[in-house]
Amino acid sequence: MSAGGHGLPRDDYASRLGMWLFLFTEILLFGGLFLLYAAYLHRYPEAFHAGGKMLDKVFGTVNTVVLITSSVTVAQSITALRLGNPDRACKLLYATVALAGMFMVNKFFEWSAKIAHDIYPGSAHLLEAQDGLGIFFSLYYVMTGLHGIHVIIGAAVLLYALRGIRKGHVNADDYVLLENSGLYWHLVDLVWIYLFPLFYLVA
């Protein structure tokens, strides 16, 4: 235990443990949705394959590359801060947040295209389609939408850590906030790595 940036005692071990426990609850959340997906895939394999063919693999692939790249920039920012280079750490965090924004913009256009083609839960097109297709797209919107919310939260947390670096509260001697923020961002990336093949490559 050592002094934190505000002159208060801090417990880095407790902070890291708390983050890992929080990440575990997030894994349980998405894990339950993955199990639900698997159950319906087993029941409606043809409909799920048809749904996968209706998704744009270009959007999915681009967003996969974007998030993987953002995980690299987050990891580099932590390294830069630990080496005593806060300016480089901040630039890398700005790059990460920009990549998060790019991901959300791509997702906006992808969702907009689907909605414009009457492909969304409860739409006339899906109600008339084969059994299971509506379930596929319900899961698609719920799971990718929930993931999108996590992207926004993750970007906000990284900006908070960046603010701490600018103020000197997060530094080479006290970087746990940035480290924990990076762990959360890696989880966001990991969840997408599973979502991408489940929806875009199932066809």
Domain range annotation of the chain = 11-200
3-state DSSP call for residue 129? coil
Q: Which pLDDT does position 130 carry in this prediction?
A: 82
Q: Which pLDDT does position 8 carry in this prediction?
A: 46
Q: Is the pLDDT of residue 145 over 70?
A: yes
Instruction: For residues 80-104, give the mean pLDDT.
Output: 98
Q: Which pLDDT does position 1 carry in this prediction?
A: 40
Rounded Cα distance between 69 and 76, Å, is 11
Q: What band does 5 get if pLDDT is binned at 50, 70 and 90?
A: very low
User: SS3 helix, strand, coil % of the chain, rounded to 5?
Assistant: 80, 5, 15
pTM passes above 0.85 = yes
Q: Nearest to residue 37, comparing CAs of 150, 142, 136, 146?
A: 136
Q: What band does 9 get if pLDDT is binned at 50, 70 and 90?
A: low
Rounded Cα distance between 119 and 51, Å, is 10
Q: Which pLDDT does position 196 carry in this prediction?
A: 97
Instruction: For residues 2-14, give the mean pLDDT.
Output: 58
Instruction: For residues 14-32, give the mean pLDDT.
Output: 94
* CATH class belonging to 11-200: mainly alpha
Instruction: For residues 56-68, give the mean pLDDT.
Output: 96
Rounded Cα distance between 8 and 96, Å, is 30
DSSP letters for 9-25 = EE-HHHHHHHHHHHHHH
Instruction: For residues 91-108, give the mean pLDDT.
Output: 98
The rounded percent of the chain whose pLDDT value lies above 70 is 95
Structure tokens at 11: 């417990």
